[in-house]
Structures are given as C-alpha cells and as structure tokens.
C-alpha cells in the first residue's frame, strides 16, 4: 500500500493550523475520466466528506478494483490500493481488520461489484465490517467500451434509440439486443436481502445529497453499502433519465424498517435516493474482534506454542 500525493507526502491534519481544503486532498494525478462523467461528482463528494468530518488523510485508505472506478485511489492524497478485478471488498476487509484505526473506503463499479466481485458483498455484509463501500454504477461497462453489465436495464437499446439516453452504440447493438433476455440486478434489494447494516442510494447529479449520504455511511459503525447512480456520458448517458425518475425516499420512511425498505427498493417507476436501511444495534467485525482479544490472556500464545514444543 502506498501513499498518494506529490512526493508521497501526507497532509498533516491531527492538529491542523488551518482547515483542510479540497486542493490539499488532490494528488498530482489528474483524473482521466471522460468530461461529464458522474464519477467526478463522487470524487468531489469524497473530498468534501473528509473535510466535513475532519478526517486525517493519513488515516484514510481507499481500496479499488478494476474499471473506471479503479483509478480512484490515484486521484486523492490518501493511502490507496488499486487491486485486482472484483476484490476490493476482501482487501478492504483485511485492511480494516489489521488497522481498525483507519477510515476505509472501498470503490467499485457495477461490473467490479456485481459480476466478478458479487460473491464478496454477502460476506462483507454478514461480517458487518466497518468500511464504506461505494459502488459507482453507470449500468454499463464503460472502460471496455459499452458492453451491458449486471445492472443494465433489459431495454437499454430502446432507451438509447428513443433518445431518453445518449451514448455511442457503434459496435454494441448486437450485444445490447441479446441483453433483452436478462433482467437487471437490483443492488439495493440485494444488499437488503444480505442484511447489510447500512444501505443507501445517491445520484451523482445531486452532489449535496451525495455528500450527505456518504457522510452518514462513514459515521455508521458497520458495513455501509452505497449505490451511486453515476452516468457514463460516452456509452450510456442517463442524466436526463435519472432527473426524471430520481425521487427522495418518503419523508415518513423509517430507516430501521427493513421490510419497508425492501418494498421501496422494488418500486418500478421511481429511483429512490436516500438511506433505505440502517441498523445501529449490530456490533461491527472490529468490535467483535476486540471483544475476543480481551478474552485472551497474555500467556495464552505461550501456552499454545508449548503444546508443540518437545
């Protein structure tokens, strides 16, 4: 794991003389996402969360996999690990277990999270590891030039042709046409079924709401699953579509009501944003490990080794 930033220097924040600014958190690496990509908004919100929560960048780590989201650690002056495809969650879990003092983020796209890496979400949820998992969902494989992903709607081709979305369909019409036979995965419903202790959705076109939701995810002591609808302006530009369908969760929604959250996640005509579910009663993996450590006596390891000593 390496420190990101000019000269590999971290920004001292524990006893700050002056408040952190966004420029203090930017690395010397310029983002190379397409102009207008929704991921820029997520990066900006990430910076703002660090500032708002007064986090020490030297105690923040970002783990990513492969895809457009995989580049995220290089753009921030925090600790970063760019791992292999689909393995952001187990890497982040190990990091948090070994260094519970760190604020750990895991970043994935819809391909990284729900295809090759989909099997890891259940285990991060059941362990309730204290990390914030942000899935930058553009409903398409952007880095590999527009193939359908697990969250691509079955009518993706019709949406493009009708003008409700925009994107470069050249060379992909056949794949998208075949995709009609597959249903799209519902990530919020999946996370709720796995009993993740914090489940939320945001839209990159609403940066203030996005920042607030990520802040709540970081504050939550447990596994925070945040799906961010982040349009790909090149291959599946859904900004206009989401501006029509995105709606805040009902004001009377109780985030502790998991069954109601499931019903809202299944709403077919609206893309609800906000905190669907939050369970503050479950201990995190770190808390359980600490309880276990407290039960160990200082001599227990010596006694264990003595059993194997001749």
Please enumerate in sequence order all residues whose Cβ is within 8 A of that of 252, keeping only pairs 6 or more positions apart, or say none.
none
3-state secondary structure of 78: coil
Q: Give the Cβ contact number of residue 271 at 10 Å.
A: 17
Read off the pTM: 0.86
Domain definitions of the chain by residue range: 2-283
Q: At what angle do helices 207-219 and 39-52 cross, to 10 degrees?
A: 50
Residues in the chain: 310
Q: Kindly tell me if the per-residue pLDDT of 6 is higher than 60.
A: no
Q: Give the Cβ contact number of residue 222 at 10 Å.
A: 24
Q: Kindly tell me if the per-residue pLDDT of 169 is higher than 60.
A: no
Q: What's the CATH fold of domain 2-283?
A: Rossmann fold (3.40.50)
Looking at residue 167, its pLDDT comes to: 56
pLDDT digits (tens, 9 = 90+) for 32-41: 899 999 999 9
Q: Kindly tell me if the per-residue pLDDT of 179 is higher than 70.
A: no
Partners of 99 in the β-ladder: none
pLDDT digits (tens, 9 = 90+) for 205-224: 999 999 999 999 999 999 99
pLDDT digits (tens, 9 = 90+) for 235-267: 888 888 888 899 999 999 999 999 999 999 999
Q: How confident is the model at residue 148 (pLDDT cuts 50, 70, 90)?
A: confident
Average of per-residue pLDDT values in the chain:
87
197 within 8 A of 278, measured Cβ to Cβ: yes
Q: How confident is the model at residue 4 (pLDDT cuts 50, 70, 90)?
A: very low
- φ and ψ of 135, to 5 deg: -100, 115
């Amino acid at each position: 794991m390496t420190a990101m930033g000019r000269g590999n220097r971290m920004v001292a924040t524990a006893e700050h003389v002056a408040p952190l600014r966004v420029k203090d958190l930017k690395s010397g690496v310029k983002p190379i996402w397409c102009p207008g990509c929704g991921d820029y908004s997520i990066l900006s919100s990430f910076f703002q969360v660090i500032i708002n929560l007064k986090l020490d960048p030297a105690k923040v780590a970002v783990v990513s996999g492969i895809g457009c989201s995989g580049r995220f650690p290089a753009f921030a002056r925090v600790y970063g690990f760019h791992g292999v495809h689909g393995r952001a969650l187990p890497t982040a879990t190990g990091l948090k277990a070994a260094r519970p003092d760190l604020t750990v983020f895991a970043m994935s796209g819809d391909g990284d999270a729900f295809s090759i890496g989909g099997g890891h979400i259940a285990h991060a949820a059941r362990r309730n590891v204290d990390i914030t998992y942000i899935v930058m969902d553009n409903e398409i494989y952007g880095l590999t030039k527009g193939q359908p992903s697990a969250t691509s709607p079955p009518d993706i081709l019709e949406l493009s042709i009708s003008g409700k979305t925009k994107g470069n369909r050249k060379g992909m019409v056949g794949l998208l046409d075949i995709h009609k036979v597959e249903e799209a995965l519902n990530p919020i419903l999946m996370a709720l079924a796995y009993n993740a202790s914090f489940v939320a959705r945001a839209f990159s076109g609403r940066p203030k709401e996005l920042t607030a939701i990520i802040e709540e995810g970081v504050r939550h002591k447990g596994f925070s699953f945040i799906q961010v609808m982040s349009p790909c302006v090149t291959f599946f530009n859904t900004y206009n579509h989401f501006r029509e369908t995105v709606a805040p969760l009902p004001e009377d929604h109780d985030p502790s009501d998991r069954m109601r959250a499931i019903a809202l996640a299944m709403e077919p005509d609206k893309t609800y944003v906000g905190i669907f579910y939050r369970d503050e009663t479950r201990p995190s993996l770190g808390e359980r490990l600490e309880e276990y450590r407290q039960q160990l006596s200082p001599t227990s390891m010596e006694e264990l080794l003595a059993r194997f000593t001749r």
